[in-house]
Structure 1
Amino acid sequence: MTRPAGSEAANPSASSRRFLALALPSIAASLMVPVASLVDTAILGHLDELEPLAGVALGGVIFDLLYWSFGFLRMGTTGLTAQAFGRGQLGESRALLLRAGVLAMVFASLLLALQPVIGWVSFALLEGEPAVEVAARAYFDARIWAAPAVLLNFCVMGWLLGMQRTRPILVIAIVANGVNVALDYVLIVRLGWGAAGAGWATMGSQYVALLAAVPIVRRAWTRTHSAEPTAPVLSWTHLAPLLHLGRHIWLRTLALITTFALFTNFSASFSSTLLAANAVLLRVLGLASYFIDGFAHATESLAGVLVARDDKQGLRKLLGVAMSWGLATAGGFALAFIAFPQLFSLLTDQAELLAAVIAARGWLVLVLLLGSIAYVLDGYFIGLTAGVTLARAMLFSFGIGFLPLALWARYGDGGPQALWWALLCFMAARALSLGVCVPATLR
């Protein structure tokens, strides 16, 4: 039987080594996602018009809400698979991938069938200038066809993380995002498709990622198949834990993406320049957060194994290691953009837009430092499959930390500065509401 990874956590130095062995490939893989988005932003930001960049930012709000509403397929699969792996139940861990895959195809089919309704409702709610909405609609019409690949990729990534296999995730990410960058260049620069080109490029890269994952999953499956037969897949007894956890993670994710959706949508209500500036800042925040997410993913995987072994000492040490690396990374990233604001010029060469971005970069630093704590704690509770804790903390952060200030910014006298205050308070509330729940998990 395979010896569960993470047993080294009883020793502090071994725990650090094991943590980094899982985290570094996951960081590199996570970075591929925002790097591809940054390429989108850089290419669109160097066009003569602002509308394609603003349109992709506005259209991206829809997909943040749409696709990441199903993020529980990734997170739930990771936590449950890690715990099954920690208990040595390899047949159950394989079955979890199949269960998640079945759910992914059901949900993807619904998204494709309902795409006219989704598009109509989305653009009725979003605010933007007419030219921006045209670009956003073109982006939506292309990218929506990625739904089956996106949701299946969530399942694959979650399963590989739970099985302590982060290097294959890096391989998948490199292949997929290399294709995305190449398609961006061809469709946007060479063919002049603008926002639609960005949508088709993203769609194509998701299917390439799925194809690249097939042989990787097959090898991992074959190596564990002889140890134990695969558990039943579709019985209610076996589906219930994934659906129960998924419901709470769905609520958590919905509140999270609604926060960023409102932030972007309220930015659009002020001006296209402010929308584009905040889009650039959020891209940079995304780059940093995906970097820190590598540590969060390692935390998910190891926490699941450790809780399955009831190793409270290992959980304490894991939290210490993960939090140290997360804060150090956020601090270094923040310092770089404070000391070298010219880094933003890599994303746009438009003077007015660049000036707006540089003027607001202090908010980015504060949000990032508080966010790093929240990201690591998210990973910890996902590994523990503590869905109720995650949902309650995120709903509190959205309803109390973000929404009042955001509404004051949009409909009162707060203005754009209050919008950033809302995002800052949201991150602080996330860190606080999750942090107060940690001691109970260690007793």
Structure 2
Amino acid sequence: MPSFLPNFVRLAIVNILSNLMVPLAGLIDTAFLGHLDEIHHLAGVALATVIFNYVYWTFGFLRISTTGMTAQAVGRDDSNAVWLVALRHILLGLGLGCLIMLLQVPLRSIGFTLLSATPEVKASGQSYYNALIWGAPATLIGFVLLGWFLGRAQGHKVLLLSFISSSSNVLLDYVFIVRWGWGSAGAGWATAISQYLLLVVGLGLMVQEPCRPPLKTIASQLYDPLALKAAFTLNREIMVRTLALVTTFSVFTNLSSLLGTTVLTANTVMLQVVTLAAYFIDGIAFATESFAGLFYGQRATHSLLYLMQVAGGASLALGLSVAGGFIVFPDRLFGLLTDHQSVLDRLHDYVLWLLPVLGFGALAYMLDGYFVGLTQGRVLRVASLYSSLLGFAPVAIVAWQLHSDHLLWLALAVFMAARTLTLGVRVPATLDSDSISDPN
């Protein structure tokens, strides 16, 4: 048994619990808004969320790159580098967050012009947007803090921050929406304030870290052209990778809408299952990021091999278990998500697609985490682009031309398989000790 296994399991479990707080808070948000007399508040929030998903997912590299670079610095036992990664990314997150706020008017105009909805729904969406946009700096710096604690394998602090953010969001939702009647604007302010609470507590936890180098020492090293160039390159590669993934799922949803309302609804329910599974699998992927970076920094390639075996087996088992549960008990489990018989009938036809999508998807998520820990951004970018353009796109085009919903699911399965293959073929090279450059 690998010596790191107990710590890996503990970190994965804590990460899973932390991940599950995100959809739980979202469900409660939806419940508060969904019980208002005017349904346009809920619809408006859903509309504005499309804009924020693109904006914040674009800058998701702040969390991802921080985790990998921090974990490697921990593996090298380089305390200064650990803190430099945090400070550089915090400053970057602050700058990008302020830029988003400065550009909020053109972003709002472009976003709501491209989205179709009734005037009432758009007005509610803009009220939500106008409130939530002020939380941009806290949200982006929050990405950095979560990534930094993950890179240090401090999952309990990530769990604490997630709990503070989610619970305060729910509490403020109740006050602003139910008690004060602010509607969609209340939902926006609740989320923005909860992000600032996460920021304050996260910075407080950082300050309390032991063995913290003097601020003067690390401040004098902030401007290092080589280190800044490496961070910029990694962040750029991860941003392209993320945009490719988001675009693939967006195209899948748009093509589903062209096949009719019933197909769109059924595919949306299936994607909810995939998303739910991803929250569990990402717990393993995040732990893989932390340990891969640690072992890479230590130049311990034998431990990387064990990590691949443990993380790969656990991820695959988890993905197939979720798929198997919905295949064996489709009516009971899908019935929790919808009671429309026409949709349930469609889901019976689609449910077997969960096996390849979640099977390959579980391995792809794990491999993503592995290469994030190794900070090999180019591998991630190339794999995502190949999988989207050469895997998903050709099959999706045929599905659209033939109006075939099953071919559309085949396209998503091919996308997941292509990600697994394109990442998997790069693994052997990382297990060669000669491939790890000496950081000193």
TM-score range, shorter chain: 0.7 to 0.9
Choose 63-72 or 195-204, whichever is displaced more: 195-204
Which residue in 2 is equivalent to 1:26? 15
CA distance in 2, matches of 1:38, 1:358: 25
What does 1:27-46 align with in structure 2 at a 5 Å threshold? 27-41=16-30
CA distance in 2, matches of 1:55, 1:336: 34
1:380 maps to which of 364, 370, 373: 370
Letter in 2 for 1:117: P
2:154 aligned counterpart, secondary structure: coil
Which residue in 2 is equivalent to 1:145? 134
CA distance in 1, matches of 2:74, 2:384: 28
CA distance in 1, matches of 2:124, 2:411: 28
CA distance in 1, matches of 2:365, 2:244: 15
2:311 maps to which of 294, 297, 322: 322
CA distance in 1, matches of 2:42, 2:346: 15
- Asked if the contact 2:71/2:290 (under 8 Å) is kept, the reply is yes
CA distance in 2, matches of 1:269, 1:133: 22
Letter in 1 for 2:381: A
After superposition, what is the alpha-carbon deviation per residue over 1:199-227, rounded to whole angstroms, capped at 9, x for unaligned? 4433333222222212212222x443379
Letter in 1 for 2:212: T
Letter in 2 for 1:153: G
**Pairwise CA distance, 1:285:** 2.4
Structure 2 CA distance for partners of 1:46 and 1:342, relative to 1, 3 Å: farther
Q: What runs of 5+ residues in structure 1 fail to find an aligned partner? A: 1-11
2:64 maps to which of 65, 70, 75: 75
**Pairwise CA distance, 1:21:** 2.5
**Pairwise CA distance, 1:341:** 3.9
Is 2:235 the counterpart of 1:249?
A: no
After superposition, what is the alpha-carbon deviation per residue over 1:242-291, rounded to whole angstroms, capped at 9, x for unaligned? 11111111111111112223333444555666555544443332222121
1:14 aligned counterpart, secondary structure: coil
- Asked if the contact 1:277/1:356 (under 8 Å) is kept, the reply is yes
Letter in 2 for 1:77: T
CA distance in 2, matches of 1:299, 1:347: 31
Which residue in 2 is equivalent to 1:117? 106
**Pairwise CA distance, 1:379:** 0.5
Is 2:355 the counterpart of 1:394?
A: no
Which residue in 2 is equivalent to 1:225? 213
**Pairwise CA distance, 1:296:** 0.8
Structure 2 CA distance for partners of 1:358 and 1:47, relative to 1, 3 Å: farther
CA distance in 1, matches of 2:171, 2:398: 42
Is 2:55 the counterpart of 1:93?
A: no
Choose 362-371 or 156-165, whichever is displaced more: 362-371
Structure 2 CA distance for partners of 1:271 and 1:48, relative to 1, 3 Å: farther
**Pairwise CA distance, 1:64:** 2.1
Which residue in 1 is equivalent to 2:143? 154
Q: How many residues align?
A: 430
**Pairwise CA distance, 1:398:** 1.2
**Pairwise CA distance, 1:417:** 4.1
CA distance in 2, matches of 1:405, 1:142: 40
**Pairwise CA distance, 1:57:** 4.2
CA distance in 2, matches of 1:420, 1:281: 10
CA distance in 2, matches of 1:365, 1:114: 43
Is 2:361 the counterpart of 1:371?
A: yes
CA distance in 1, matches of 2:345, 2:127: 29
Which residue in 2 is equivalent to 1:234? 223
- Asked if the contact 1:176/1:208 (under 8 Å) is kept, the reply is yes
Which residue in 2 is equivalent to 1:166? 155
**Pairwise CA distance, 1:387:** 0.6
1:379 aligned counterpart, secondary structure: helix
Structure 2 CA distance for partners of 1:117 and 1:177, relative to 1, 3 Å: same
Which residue in 1 is equivalent to 2:4? 15
CA distance in 1, matches of 2:44, 2:348: 22
Which residue in 2 is equivalent to 1:9? none
Letter in 2 for 1:242: A
Q: Name the % identity.
A: 44
Letter in 1 for 2:359: L
**Pairwise CA distance, 1:152:** 0.3
**Pairwise CA distance, 1:321:** 0.5
Between 1 and 2, higher relative CO (CA 8 Å, sep ≥ 6) is seen in 1
Which residue in 1 is equivalent to 2:53? 64
- Asked if the contact 2:135/2:193 (under 8 Å) is kept, the reply is yes
- Using structure 2 for the length normalisation, give the TM-score: 0.86
- Asked if the contact 1:41/1:347 (under 8 Å) is kept, the reply is no
- Asked if the contact 1:52/1:194 (under 8 Å) is kept, the reply is yes
Q: What runs of 5+ residues in structure 2 fail to find an aligned partner? A: 433-440
**Pairwise CA distance, 1:85:** 1.0
1:295 aligned counterpart, secondary structure: helix
Structure 2 CA distance for partners of 1:287 and 1:204, relative to 1, 3 Å: farther
**Structural RMSD (CA):** 3.1
Letter in 2 for 1:225: P
Is 2:202 the counterpart of 1:209?
A: no
- Asked if the contact 2:259/2:403 (under 8 Å) is kept, the reply is no
**Pairwise CA distance, 1:409:** 4.7
After superposition, what is the alpha-carbon deviation per residue over 1:64-92, rounded to whole angstroms, capped at 9, x for unaligned? 22111111111111111111111111011
- Asked if the contact 1:42/1:348 (under 8 Å) is kept, the reply is no
Structure 2 CA distance for partners of 1:145 and 1:63, relative to 1, 3 Å: same
- Asked if the contact 1:104/1:148 (under 8 Å) is kept, the reply is yes
Structure 2 CA distance for partners of 1:159 and 1:437, relative to 1, 3 Å: same
CA distance in 1, matches of 2:295, 2:393: 36
After superposition, what is the alpha-carbon deviation per residue over 1:89-129, rounded to whole angstroms, capped at 9, x for unaligned? 10111111110011111111111111222223233434567
- Using structure 1 for the length normalisation, give the TM-score: 0.86
Structure 2 CA distance for partners of 1:278 and 1:132, relative to 1, 3 Å: farther
CA distance in 1, matches of 2:94, 2:236: 17
**Pairwise CA distance, 1:331:** 2.0
